[in-house]
Amino acid sequence: MRKEEAKPRSYWHWVLRIFLMSVLLSAVLSFASGVALTDAGYALAAAVLVAFVLLGILFDILGVAVTAADPRVFHSMAAHREKGAKEALFLLKNAEKASSFCNDVVGDICGIVSGSTAAAIVLRLQASFDTQSILISIAVTALISGLTIGGKAIGKRLAVNRCTEVVFRAAQVLRVLHIGNKR
C-alpha cells in the first residue's frame, strides 16, 4: 500500500520539477535569443532561428529514440563496461521523463522561441521594406513551420531506425556531463 501512496506524490513532484525546469529553460533561451538578436543583421537573426529549429529537431529525435530503444543492448554493453552504457540505461529506465523533457520541454520551448525570433525577423523585414504586408509574415511562418515539421519527420525515422545509436550518443554526452551515472 505504501508504494501506491508514494507514486502520486512522486508524480506531482515530477510535474512541479518539469514546470520549474520549463520556466527556467524558457527564460534562459528567450534571453539568449534576445541578446543575440539585439542589433543583429539578417544573417545572424536567421542563424539564431535555424539554431532553435535544429535544437528542437535534435531533442525530438532523442525523445523518440529513448522510447524506441531496446535496453538489452545496453545491458550487454554495461556488462562489458563500455563507457556510456550506464547512462544509456539511465535514459531508458527514465524513458517517460526523458521523452517528456526532450519532446515537450525543449521541443516546445524551441518552437515558442523560434516563433518569437521569427516575429522579430518579420518586423525587421517589414521595417526595411516600409510595409505592413501580411505576406512577409505568412511566408516566414510557413517556411519555419515547413522546416520544423519536415525536419522532425525526417528525425523520427532516424530515431526509430537508429534508436540504439542515438541513445548511445546522448548517453556519452551525459557521461561527460556526469548526468545519470550514480558513481
Q: What is the C-alpha separation between 113 and 124, in angstroms, rounded?
A: 17
- Kindly report the pTM of this predicted structure: 0.85
Domain residue spans of the chain: 2-177
Over residues 57-84, the mean pLDDT reads 95
pLDDT higher than threshold 50 for residue 91: yes
Over residues 161-180, the mean pLDDT reads 91
